[in-house]
Structure 1
């Protein structure tokens, strides 16, 4: 009995909870039935099946054996019998008649596994079986004329691929020319000798991470070119929340089958990769199914260098013309070292023109100086050299912690043309910062907007690789043309949904050794106790937007950044926050959130901040005293300066008149794929010139 239980456990570990295929028979004779021989003989309709487990709907009056009791079953596929199979019931609900029950198979033989998967292949081709784990694509109709024009302009300039779909055939096409004045599109057939065929034409084009479908009539056919009007409607299908790109040549995945070790070592070519998945080219008889766990799985490049992943099969395609079948696998790295290697590999594939900053630190520092970044952030000249040493040291350490940092550079013969960084500042929030461009035109033929687009894509897609990512944030210049065009316009359009926020703020650098000397009789300041921290968090949830509260970890359980600070400390870096309160006659009337990060993380002190909140009438009168308490807090940690962030106009008296106006920009992770699509469209260059024969 103990050996049977150990075998059942091993089988359960070979596949996820929702493994195999869901079965949807349209007629009784199309389904697969489960035949139980204990305690009597009964037949039940199978609703989900894999070589590791079966779910079925019990027929009325069926008496199920006790759980974890060995039993034998048969599968009846329209007269074709598979079995006997050994198993045990691991889930049932005796309170309800006709409730589904689940059986965990034990010691399924290789031949039985082939029979089960063969039956499921047939059912899948006939439309009777769907992968139990496959997500459905998201469809959306787009009707705004300006949005449609923006998408099609990006497709044309970026030379994205397209497909013409007709009954019985699919042909490659490209959007060769966008006639803005005539509101016409010029398409070209990429298949030699092919004909356009009858209109209307269904065309599918690919954007940044979405496929767009359009139906258009033909205005003219000129050989291989088709002229159509701009459509009034596009249908967007988002295939993935994260992009996939072709894998580097020679990349292979190696694994052993978790159910049938006799199959030996398996090797599949990797077709494409994303941060969370890859697709493989498998043999036509590869015995895999959705939910199968491939762990560990070694990914080895053409040079023989390898990393290790945990994999779960999510999709199994039909055998193609080459006799291979595509396998979609969701993956996570096995260790921190594997994560670093995996992020580097995928990042380079997603944005081949960009690199991680760790190998370009000296040229990166020169870029920041040449671009005027230090003047923009107000960094005093006397501190520049000291900040350089801190910046280089922190950047080297951050490169080994991709789960917390991303530093992107766009290199060229001149050094570094542009940079953008991000840091996981909070439990669910990534802060993007340090955007800079080198003055002048880069060498070579670099399309307009490509550097800016590539920097955003690599940096923001890196944040997507974090499973806990919920918010993107930045401090953007309120009247800066670039930030206004890219960041603020997009966020303001989504504020009403709660998935974005734009909050005006003013920021100033204060010294920790220059107290205000304001006398505040009857006011006591100090760290908040546990009860006071909860009260502060509840009041912040009342007076600030939900996006702000969640993104900046202002909930009771996250108010002091304990989880985030632990992750930073594990990487050998500082991160801390404390709640200071002002009390009058024992009652809390105001609070200050003081926090810091490793020196050199951001050159403008974006994470060494103080935020002040009045919690009772007159609470703002205690702000000078709270700031003195904050000065002492930073001085005790040997920090010479900190950044005061003012979010209310009435508190601007605490700042110098020339303190810059900025916006705190917040964007939900749900909107990030759409935002990157927006960035891709907003940074495209000029449309190609008119073809001579147009």
Structure 2
């Protein structure tokens, strides 16, 4: 498997208008000098000419332009020089072009487009990946068939046909497709539309049977992605409107075809709307029933031909912070209609935890959580409206909840998913997979617009099939890239208010600068880079200055401290001790202790040192009003754990993936939650 992340996240070069794929002539008149040339690029506000000779020109110089294609088709247009290049090319900007001239230019551009003579702005994928892992290829094919995924077959002569994936039989090693038209002879290429990407399959042999084209099950797929954020069809009527930036008398109002956090698309009428790639719209309004209209800045990125008309794709950006929140609310209402983030769901969430068995995870019972309810409710209330810190996603089913997951940002550039629970609500039709898919997508997708996001992580139970099938498999596939990791641990819990053994001969205190340096060197040599970066276990971010400030502004706590245990004056082990606001996580996963031995951890002094560090951690948590803390046991020799008499909460794995892999993870999640095909 090979994946390539490509540059230029916008997926296009910066082009205003269209480049010409034909010899379209123009004459530029600079005073009494007439310079014929070839039209290189054209929009309704500018053009680029390649002149036969290079006159002496200066930016701002007035010019009159007459365009022609075999014969003159437009009156002279006033323009001014924008820039002069040495090819020789000159860029010109139209000065107050009349509306009639704009419509004439559009009609010619559309005629050129129909004849294949326009070169639209170049687009290329932001992600290309070759997939040859047999199990993964089979999962993708099975999901395509189960969803009856649409696509196209591209034939060697350039023709294409619409196709639909119908079945996948892993045992017989074959896949069936329905073609909208006569079945072609191989070879050809199949392109199937996935969740947010396109899957390419090369077909070298095929046979027709029972109205289907049956091909051998592929051994390799190539996946392309052209944008980082998926766009989705609105789930309820949604409309955009604006007054044209060049001709305010032109008012555009169109139904939204699809949208995302950073873009939208609609079917345009070129002669009426007068749009072209690169056009910037200072104010565009999007409205849907039940929400106030949202005002955005927009730029036309592309206009393409489809079976239903000309599709215009725009990038959009909110005008201010309030607009950003309103746009996010509108997008999420459209993309995730079955889930909610805002609102008071505390009672329903607590009931879901009780009924789903969440309170009966290893080592726990419902009675252990009764005293935590007030702090849980208080912390959730403080997070309300502060989605930059964290939020709770729920999937309502009447008065109850089918599923919930929480997402928080406890580190500088890392988001954590936690507190996942699901139950079957009587009378609902949604499957467990559908409910889990919906809350995960709603939980993860908004984090993609966080400009600082770099990592995603979760503390997972080690033996839950759903988690192994989704999170663990995905991390394993990409572990060789260094962008993921799976670190096993055993989660233990210590009670603060009890006697703690403090071994003789061990001194615990704050580390010196040299000891801190040794700590980071040891972590660097023993932990994966994804682990260190995601958990801010690096010198420049170790003190959590950024998170402490942001969480503190919301009245929520976040702390971290480093302790060292010395034997005979020499450092033996260190402990990272940290805390988060009580009630943020009911299993206290961020009130945790990590131990890093500097010597062989099987030595008695190492075991004594780690036991002493746990005792010091108990004092630290007691001073902050905590009753318990957790310890992530990562050492192989655990004599100190037995001596500390910690409660065993079970095996776990720390799951970490890079933010650059999130679209691939969401695609995998969508495939994994698709009901299996027949």
Question: Normalising by structure 1, what TM-score?
Answer: 0.79
For 1:212, which of 193, 199, 202 is the aligned residue?
A: 199
For the pair 1:680 / 2:670, whether they are aligned, the reply is: yes
State the SS of the aligned residue for 1:262. Answer: coil
Following superposition, the deviation at residue 652 of structure 1 comes to 6.4
For the pair 1:508 / 2:498, whether they are aligned, the reply is: no
Following superposition, the deviation at residue 627 of structure 1 comes to 4.2
Following superposition, the deviation at residue 368 of structure 1 comes to 0.9
* Number of the residue aligned with 2:79: 85
Q: Distance in 1 between matches of 2:649 and 2:610?
A: 18
- Residues 378, 604 of structure 1: 8 Å contact kept: no
- Residues 406, 423 of structure 1: 8 Å contact kept: yes
For the pair 1:20 / 2:3, whether they are aligned, the reply is: no
Following superposition, the deviation at residue 435 of structure 1 comes to 1.9
Matches within 5 A, 1:159-558: 159-163=148-152, 172-188=162-178, 195-196=182-183, 203-214=190-201, 215=203, 217-222=205-210, 224-257=211-244, 259-260=245-246, 262-263=248-249, 265-285=251-271, 286-303=273-290, 305-318=292-305, 325-356=310-341, 358-376=343-361, 378=363, 381-412=366-397, 415-438=400-423, 443-447=427-431, 449-514=433-498, 516=500, 518=502, 523=507, 525-526=509-510, 537=520, 540-558=523-541
Evaluate the alpha carbon distance shift between residue 401 and residue 40 of structure 1 in structure 2; reply closer, same or farther with a 3 A threshold: farther
Following superposition, the deviation at residue 665 of structure 1 comes to 0.8
For 1:564, which of 547, 558, 561 is the aligned residue?
A: 547
- Residues 582, 622 of structure 1: 8 Å contact kept: yes
- Residues 159, 174 of structure 1: 8 Å contact kept: yes
Q: Deviations over 1:628-670 (max 9, x none)?
A: 5544443443333332223332466245373522111111222
State the SS of the aligned residue for 1:327. Answer: strand
Following superposition, the deviation at residue 476 of structure 1 comes to 1.6
- Residues 358, 396 of structure 1: 8 Å contact kept: no
Q: Distance in 2 between matches of 1:411 and 1:211?
A: 32
For the pair 1:152 / 2:141, whether they are aligned, the reply is: yes
Q: Distance in 1 between matches of 2:524 and 2:18?
A: 43
Q: Distance in 1 between matches of 2:389 and 2:172?
A: 49
Evaluate the alpha carbon distance shift between residue 485 and residue 143 of structure 1 in structure 2; reply closer, same or farther with a 3 A threshold: closer
- Residues 26, 36 of structure 2: 8 Å contact kept: no
- Residues 310, 334 of structure 1: 8 Å contact kept: yes
Q: Distance in 2 between matches of 1:408 and 1:44?
A: 60
- Residues 456, 658 of structure 2: 8 Å contact kept: yes
Following superposition, the deviation at residue 314 of structure 1 comes to 1.9
Q: Which deviates more, 152-161 or 536-545?
A: 536-545
Q: Deviations over 1:532-557 (max 9, x none)?
A: 86775565444432212221223333
For 2:657, which of 656, 664, 667 is the aligned residue?
A: 667
State the SS of the aligned residue for 2:427. Answer: coil
- Residues 527, 578 of structure 1: 8 Å contact kept: no
For the pair 1:72 / 2:62, whether they are aligned, the reply is: yes
State the SS of the aligned residue for 2:539. Answer: coil
- Residues 390, 600 of structure 1: 8 Å contact kept: yes
Q: Which deviates more, 206-215 or 375-384?
A: 375-384
- Residues 597, 607 of structure 1: 8 Å contact kept: yes
Evaluate the alpha carbon distance shift between residue 372 and residue 143 of structure 1 in structure 2; reply closer, same or farther with a 3 A threshold: closer
* Number of the residue aligned with 2:97: 109
* Number of the residue aligned with 2:627: 640
Q: Distance in 2 between matches of 1:629 and 1:550?
A: 26
* Number of the residue aligned with 1:610: 593
Following superposition, the deviation at residue 282 of structure 1 comes to 2.7
- Residues 505, 568 of structure 2: 8 Å contact kept: no
State the SS of the aligned residue for 2:468. Answer: helix
Following superposition, the deviation at residue 473 of structure 1 comes to 0.8
For the pair 1:597 / 2:580, whether they are aligned, the reply is: yes
In structure 2, list runs of 5 or more residues that go unmatched.
1-11
Q: CA RMSD in A?
A: 4.4
Q: Deviations over 1:70-93 (max 9, x none)?
A: 33356676677874423555xx9x
Following superposition, the deviation at residue 502 of structure 1 comes to 0.8
State the SS of the aligned residue for 2:451. Answer: coil
Evaluate the alpha carbon distance shift between residue 32 and residue 394 of structure 1 in structure 2; reply closer, same or farther with a 3 A threshold: farther
Evaluate the alpha carbon distance shift between residue 367 and residue 448 of structure 1 in structure 2; reply closer, same or farther with a 3 A threshold: closer
Following superposition, the deviation at residue 329 of structure 1 comes to 1.8
Q: Distance in 2 between matches of 1:21 and 1:582?
A: 66
Q: Distance in 1 between matches of 2:478 and 2:591?
A: 29
Q: Deviations over 1:373-423 (max 9, x none)?
A: 123164565552232222233334434123332423333358222222222
Q: Distance in 1 between matches of 2:173 and 2:130?
A: 20
Following superposition, the deviation at residue 504 of structure 1 comes to 1.4
Evaluate the alpha carbon distance shift between residue 371 and residue 72 of structure 1 in structure 2; reply closer, same or farther with a 3 A threshold: same
Q: Distance in 2 between matches of 1:446 and 1:114?
A: 51
Following superposition, the deviation at residue 471 of structure 1 comes to 1.5
State the SS of the aligned residue for 1:86. Answer: strand
Following superposition, the deviation at residue 600 of structure 1 comes to 1.9
Q: Deviations over 1:206-232 (max 9, x none)?
A: 22223334436553443x444444345
Evaluate the alpha carbon distance shift between residue 505 and residue 181 of structure 1 in structure 2; reply closer, same or farther with a 3 A threshold: closer
* Number of the residue aligned with 1:13: none
Q: Distance in 1 between matches of 2:190 and 2:559?
A: 53
Q: Deviations over 1:74-133 (max 9, x none)?
A: 6676677874423555xx9xxxx948999695855355766776776677664553426x
Following superposition, the deviation at residue 343 of structure 1 comes to 3.5
Q: Which deviates more, 239-248 or 625-634?
A: 625-634
Q: Distance in 2 between matches of 1:265 and 1:629?
A: 69
Q: Distance in 2 between matches of 1:102 and 1:622?
A: 74
Question: Normalising by structure 2, what TM-score?
Answer: 0.80
- Residues 425, 431 of structure 1: 8 Å contact kept: yes
Q: Distance in 1 between matches of 2:113 and 2:382?
A: 49
In structure 1, list runs of 5 or more residues that go unmatched.
1-15, 689-694
Q: Distance in 2 between matches of 1:184 and 1:202?
A: 16
- Residues 459, 654 of structure 2: 8 Å contact kept: yes
- Residues 356, 408 of structure 1: 8 Å contact kept: yes
